[in-house]
Amino acid sequence: MVLGTEDATPVAFWFSVLPGASVQMDDLVAVRTRKPDGSAVQFYGIVDHVRTRHEGVSFDSDVQDVVAGLLPASVSYAARVLVTRVDPEDFIPPQPGDEVRHATGESLRLALSADKMDYAFAGGLLADGQVLPVNYQFVNGESGGHINISGISGVATKTSYALFLLHSIFRGGVLNTRGEGHNTRALIFNVKGEDLLFLDQPNRRVADKEGTVQGRKGWAQGRYARLGLPVEPFRDVQFLAPPRPGAGAIVPDVEQRAAGVVPFVFTLREFAAGRMLPYVFSDAAASLNLGFVIGNVEEKLARLAGSDTTPYLTVEDWQPEQDVLLDENVRFDELGKTRLETFSQLIAYLEFKLLDQNDGEGDPKWVLKQNQGTLRAFIRRLRGVQKHLSPLVRGDLSPQQAQGYRPDLLRKGIQTTVVDIHKLGAHAQGFVVGVLLRELFEHKEKYGRQDTIFVVLDELNKYAPREGSSPIKDVLLDIAERGRSLGIILIGAQQTASEVERRIVSNAAIRVVGRLDLAEAERPEYRFLPQSFRSRAGILQPGTMLVSQPDVPNPVLVNYPFPAWATRKDEVDDLGGRAAQDVAEDWLR
Amino acid sequence: MRIRLDPWPVDTFEGQLTLKPFAGLVFDVETDRWAAVPTRGIPGSLREVVVVDGKPRMEARLLMDDEAGELHLAAFGAYVVGAVSLCPHGTRQAELQGVRARRVLAYSADVPLEPTRLSPLNPHTGVLDYEPHAFRGRQVEGPRGQVQRLMLDDEHALSQHYASAMPQEEGETDALPETLVLQDGPVRLGRGGSAVVGYVKTLHTDYLGADRIGLLSELRCGERTPILRFRVGDRGGQVSDAEGREQRFTWYVRLCDAPFYQHPLAGIMRLEMHAPEDSAFVPRAVQSVADLSGALLHRLGSKLHKDARAPQNLIPTAALEHAMSRSMGSLELVTRRIRAHLVGQGVLA
């Protein structure tokens, strides 16, 4: 019953829990009150605070007398409710004494505004095992878009939740009801370990883990069944990884996964023609002059690329110092020209043009009166990323190879693309993310919104920091601000939202918070969490998230099941569900 | 000159400073030896202790003119009785029992009045039902006395309801009651035979005399005096039939060691039980109750920092008083309701 000793308002009220009943935080409740004219007003809300205390005693030490059986006292068990919905929208307060009921079934739907959602998918399970619906139209860009996930690494399991959401979107039926199942895709950047390279493999621990949870909760159904999701790994996945450094065969630079990973490269010509140079520099804005040099060189390279299609570039005015044997397949029109076939040759050429030509004056058209210091800084930065980009940007391929290893994010029949960049250095990671996202963005700008692409990117603070600007950040800002109308949806994650560009975080319609550092939780970026949730964010367990969505004014705590896909090599169920001994016997036969 | 502190708060009427000698006769019944009796502890066969108390309150005084132009007195009042049931061995939590306010419209018997129901504006806050009770005479204090009388009757009935029967014959051996009732104030007039002990917190009458009262300040925590017997209303000389027929056992108990700076009677309580007519013996059960009273009351005694009337105002009593005040509701709100009611009736118009 609604308490009369605390203020009851249309947005928050306390209620007392009768003996024998129990209420926990995050339970959803409903209250019905009557106006003087007899019409009813329903309040729906979420319990954000529960407490017990001895009633009728005045001293803290009275508890000893109560326990000793001398002092009669009753335990007052009360809970605070943050109202999520008032229906109809008559903002009168509930009356003390009004009965508070647990919201289930239809009233749960109303409490979570599920009736306002035309298309919803499961965002996890509430504390009592009911499903949290998330409005798909606030995810795919129709009414709003983007998802932002914050939390401490390791315990907040941001990537796991992002993958769970994808799984729920892809396999939960919302796409089928919309008839979009075939052309909704995901692009996932793998930035840590090789965790995401096994998304297409079943997880051998899932049955065990989920069974334990089911047993502990005493449910008849497992969590996947409650969510209406299959216990299956991702389907139609392609894995892309940069090639292993060094000359020779192009093999993906991954350790754990032997097959199924496709290396990807860019040709030097694409690098020049596609104006990828700026993405090498994450701090182009550090000085105005450097930005100017980059812009100029970018322009020159684009011109150099011309309209030819060979993977390499040719230049006339430069001979590398080493003797180059005349290549067998040299083309007639290239006689007297030098091929640039590697990234380091390109740098050497740029160094020549900017610093060495004309007895150290550089080519005036390239230098454009910039001082030597800036030019040297430019070259130094290029040298810094040379090691990582050399295997990735190359001209020593045949056109067929170049075609075959070109990253095709929109390949037919592929639903999920995982791009592994965890082995690259920070600048090279930025380069890959920037280039791929820009390409995607430009493709979408050209062809418009035909389908939805979810881009999963962890460590947003690295790519789009609050301070400074960079081409990668510009791409991400573009996606955040215009991407939703084009069907590019950013599922971004970071440890601390306070360090990410504000416009990216504030553009996310769905915000999710896992375990947070308590000092971080008090920053203004988390003001969407009520105070009690902010303090609770410090103690959230892995597998538990606070989800805030536009339809429900208060965040809701959910948990989500253990991944059905392997997240490590040792989780891969390579026995196909059979006992190890049976498989071994097959081998021995 | 020695300065000592009166244990009662200054707003308590009279405090502990004055003792009026009891005019009647007091008999030794337990022993002739006037010395402290040590506590015996609480036997396991005592299963339950019930502390009973009551509280009256006047809510509004009324003056009524009848058609003849005569003034009559009446009043809205309320009283509440209640009990705390507890296990003397602390094996369960103490519980409040039957704390419920009753509302009384007390009026002089010569003007008939109807029962009055005061309905609230907010349906959640309940109705106030005043039951009319007439009193004899037209004295000013009549309504208050009537409420007090009703409360005492209910308190007595409640005590009788809870208390185990207690044989008072000589020669009973194992007669300790299962349920003992502790009742605030002296035991009420009426039949004995049930395990009701009255406890008197403030001592105003000296039943011991100058030569014996010294023992009280020598009692140590939990010790008691031997049991005495006296006759209620005995003013010395000839005892009339109308009063002083009832006999009482009484003894004194010290609940805690008093600090040196306090009055020597601080922490002393007088207990009282019904006594059979003209008995020269102490029934076994009474003696058992007296034996355990030191240990029991020491356990129930409160602490000074929590209750200004500690230790005599027992922990359950304090809680009970609190609950009783609450059950009568806010006096301010009740008088407001009464005012609104009278306005509605046009009485005040």
Inform me whether the C-beta atom of residue B300 falls under 8 Å from chain A C-beta atoms: yes
Structural domain containing residue A50:
8-112
Claim to verify: residue B265 and residue B212 sit in the same structural domain: yes
**Mean of per-residue pLDDT scores for chain A:** 83
Inform me whether the C-beta atom of residue B304 falls under 8 Å from chain A C-beta atoms: no
- From A84, A112, A140, the end of a domain falls on A112
Nearest CB among B94, B122, B320 relative to A69 is that of: B94
Flag whether B172 is in a domain.
Answer: no
Chain B contact set for A71 (CB, 8 A): 94, 315-316, 319
Chain B contact set for A8 (CB, 8 A): none
Torsion sign across C-alpha atoms A132, A135, A140, A146: negative
A69: nearest CA partner in chain B: B93
Claim to verify: residue A175 and residue A227 sit in the same structural domain: yes
Measured between alpha carbons, how far is residue A63 from residues A443, B315, B319 in Å? 70, 12, 13
Can you tell me the distance from the alpha carbon of A203 to that of A482, in angstroms, rounded to the nearest whole number? 37
Can you tell me the distance from the alpha carbon of A416 to that of A239, in angstroms, rounded to the nearest whole number? 9
Claim to verify: residue A375 and residue A474 sit in the same structural domain: no
Question: How many structural domains is chain A composed of?
Answer: 3
Q: Is the pLDDT of residue A450 over 80?
A: no
Residue A356 is given by DSSP the state I
CA distance B76 to chain A (A): 27
Claim to verify: residue B187 and residue B288 sit in the same structural domain: yes
Claim to verify: residue A157 and residue A222 sit in the same structural domain: yes
* Residue B300: predicted pLDDT: 93
Flag whether B4 is in a domain.
Answer: no
Nearest CB among A65, A69, A96 relative to B87 is that of: A69
Claim to verify: residue A412 and residue A500 sit in the same structural domain: yes
Inform me whether the C-beta atom of residue B299 falls under 8 Å from chain A C-beta atoms: yes
Flag whether A65 is in a domain.
Answer: yes
Flag whether B205 is in a domain.
Answer: yes
Q: Once rounded to an integer, what is the mean pLDDT over residues A260-267?
A: 85
Band the pLDDT of A326: cuts 50, 70, 90.
very low
Flag whether A535 is in a domain.
Answer: yes
ipTM of the predicted assembly exceeds 0.85: no
Share of chain A above pLDDT 70, in %: 93
- Alpha carbon A289 to its chain centroid, in Å, reads 34
Q: Is the pLDDT of residue A358 over 80?
A: no
CA distance A98 to chain B (A): 9
Chain A contact set for B98 (CB, 8 A): none
- From A353, A379, A401, the end of a domain falls on A401
Flag whether B206 is in a domain.
Answer: yes
Flag whether B349 is in a domain.
Answer: no
pLDDT tens-digit series, residues A460-485: 888 888 887 788 888 888 888 888 88
Claim to verify: residue B128 and residue B116 sit in the same structural domain: yes
Q: Give phi and psi for A493, each to the nearest 5.
A: -140, 150
Q: Give phi and psi for A324, each to the nearest 5.
A: -110, 125
Which of B84, B306, B325, B333 is the best residue to mutate to test the A interface, defined by the most A CB atoms within 10 Å of its own CB? B306
Cβ–Cβ under 8 Å, residues A453 and A141: no
Of A134 and A570, more confident = A134
Q: Give phi and psi for B172, each to the nearest 5.
A: -65, 135
Q: Token digits for A252?
A: 């993906």
* Residue A588: predicted pLDDT: 60
Claim to verify: residue B187 and residue B38 sit in the same structural domain: yes
Chain A contact set for B320 (CB, 8 A): 72
Claim to verify: residue B200 and residue B139 sit in the same structural domain: no
Inform me whether the C-beta atom of residue B326 falls under 8 Å from chain A C-beta atoms: yes
Claim to verify: residue A382 and residue A463 sit in the same structural domain: no
Claim to verify: residue A276 and residue A363 sit in the same structural domain: yes
Q: Once rounded to an integer, what is the mean pLDDT over residues A548-560?
A: 87
* Residue A323: predicted pLDDT: 47
Q: Once rounded to an integer, what is the mean pLDDT over residues B34-52?
A: 92
Instruction: Kindly report the number of other CB atoms within 10 A of residue A373's CB atom.
Output: 11
Claim to verify: residue A135 and residue A149 sit in the same structural domain: yes
Claim to verify: residue B298 and residue B189 sit in the same structural domain: yes
Q: Once rounded to an integer, what is the mean pLDDT over residues B37-62?
A: 92
Question: How many structural domains is chain B composed of?
Answer: 2
Claim to verify: residue A420 and residue A536 sit in the same structural domain: yes
pLDDT tens-digit series, residues A79-123: 999 998 898 889 999 999 899 999 888 888 888 888 888 888 888
CA-based nearest residue to A394, from A341, A337, A338, A329: A341
| This prediction's pTM | 0.74
Q: How many CA atoms lie within 13 A of A414 on its CB side?
A: 17
Residues 47 through 86 of chain B touching chain A, CB cutoff 8 Å: 84, 86
Range of lowest pLDDT (A109-123, A338-352, A570-584, B168-182) = A570-584
pLDDT tens-digit series, residues A171-207: 888 888 887 777 888 999 888 888 788 888 888 888 8
Flag whether A261 is in a domain.
Answer: no
Burial class (CB in 10 A: 0-12, 13-18, 19+), A392: buried
Q: Is the pLDDT of residue A575 over 70?
A: no
Claim to verify: residue B69 and residue B214 sit in the same structural domain: no
Flag whether B77 is in a domain.
Answer: yes
Flag whether B164 is in a domain.
Answer: no
Q: Is the pLDDT of residue B240 over 60?
A: no
Claim to verify: residue A54 and residue A85 sit in the same structural domain: yes
Inform me whether the C-beta atom of residue B121 falls under 8 Å from chain A C-beta atoms: no
First vs last Cα of chain A: how many Å apart?
71
Claim to verify: residue B56 and residue B26 sit in the same structural domain: no
Chain B contact set for A73 (CB, 8 A): 93-94, 319
Asked if A66 lies within 8 A of B94 by C-beta distance, the reply is: yes
Chain B contact set for A94 (CB, 8 A): none
Asked if B86 lies within 8 A of A72 by C-beta distance, the reply is: yes
Q: Is the pLDDT of residue B196 over 90?
A: yes
Claim to verify: residue A395 and residue A485 sit in the same structural domain: no
Nearest CB among A67, A69, A96 relative to B124 is that of: A96
Q: Is the pLDDT of residue B242 over 70?
A: no
Q: Is the pLDDT of residue A298 over 70?
A: yes
* Residue A342: predicted pLDDT: 81
Band the pLDDT of B182: cuts 50, 70, 90.
very high
Can you tell me the distance from the alpha carbon of A69 to that of A63, in angstroms, rounded to the nearest whole number? 10
Claim to verify: residue A135 and residue A101 sit in the same structural domain: no
Of A192 and B102, more confident = B102
| Residue A566: strand, helix, or coil | coil
Residues 6+ apart with CB under 8 A from A578: none
Claim to verify: residue B191 and residue B339 sit in the same structural domain: no
Asked if B323 lies within 8 A of A68 by C-beta distance, the reply is: no
Flag whether B54 is in a domain.
Answer: yes
Chain A contact set for B322 (CB, 8 A): 56
B324: nearest CA partner in chain A: A56
Asked if B323 lies within 8 A of A56 by C-beta distance, the reply is: yes
Q: Is the pLDDT of residue A152 over 70?
A: yes
Asked if B93 lies within 8 A of A67 by C-beta distance, the reply is: yes
Nearest CB among A70, A72, A73 relative to B299 is that of: A70
B327: nearest CA partner in chain A: A56
Q: Which helix (H) or strand (E) holds B52?
A: strand B48-65
Claim to verify: residue B260 and residue B188 sit in the same structural domain: yes
Band the pLDDT of B81: cuts 50, 70, 90.
very high
Helix A426-447 to helix A471-478 angle (10° resolution) is: 40
Chain B contact set for A70 (CB, 8 A): 86, 90, 94, 299-300, 315-316
Chain B contact set for A66 (CB, 8 A): 93-94
Chain B contact set for A68 (CB, 8 A): 90
Asked if B86 lies within 8 A of A65 by C-beta distance, the reply is: no
Chain B contact set for A61 (CB, 8 A): 306
Nearest CB among B122, B316, B326 relative to A70 is that of: B316
Question: Could you give the maximum distance between any two Cα atoms of chain B, in Å?
Answer: 71
Which of B84, B93, B303 is the best residue to mutate to test the A interface, defined by the most A CB atoms within 10 Å of its own CB? B93
Asked if B96 lies within 8 A of A59 by C-beta distance, the reply is: no
* Residue A191: predicted pLDDT: 84
Inform me whether the C-beta atom of residue B87 falls under 8 Å from chain A C-beta atoms: yes
Q: Once rounded to an integer, what is the mean pLDDT over residues A32-43?
A: 91
Share of chain B above pLDDT 70, in %: 91
Asked if B319 lies within 8 A of A69 by C-beta distance, the reply is: no
In three-state form (DSSP H/G/I as H, E/B as E, the rest C), the secondary structure along B122-190 is CHHHCCEEEEEEEECCCCCCHHHHHHHHHHHHHHHHHHHHHCCECCCCCCCCCCCCCEEEEEEECCCCC
* Residue A334: predicted pLDDT: 62
3-state class percentages of chain A: helix first, strand second, coil last, to nearest 5: 35, 20, 40
Q: Once rounded to an integer, what is the mean pLDDT over residues B232-242?
A: 67
Band the pLDDT of B17: cuts 50, 70, 90.
low
* Residue A379: predicted pLDDT: 85
Rounded to the nearest 5 degrees, what angle is found at the Cα of A170, between the Cα atoms of A167 and A173? 115
Q: Once rounded to an integer, what is the mean pLDDT over residues B6-11?
A: 79
Structural domain containing residue B60:
50-157+322-344
Asked if B86 lies within 8 A of A70 by C-beta distance, the reply is: yes
Q: Is the pLDDT of residue B5 over 90?
A: no
Claim to verify: residue B328 and residue B294 sit in the same structural domain: no
Q: Is the pLDDT of residue B9 over 50?
A: yes
Flag whether A326 is in a domain.
Answer: yes
Claim to verify: residue A488 and residue A503 sit in the same structural domain: yes
Q: Residue A461: which CATH number?
A: 3.40.50.300
Claim to verify: residue B200 and residue B290 sit in the same structural domain: yes
Flag whether A504 is in a domain.
Answer: yes
- From A376, A401, A426, the end of a domain falls on A401
Q: Give phi and psi for A223, each to the nearest 5.
A: -70, -35
Of B236 and B160, more confident = B160
Question: Could you give the maximum distance between any two Cα atoms of chain A, in Å?
Answer: 107
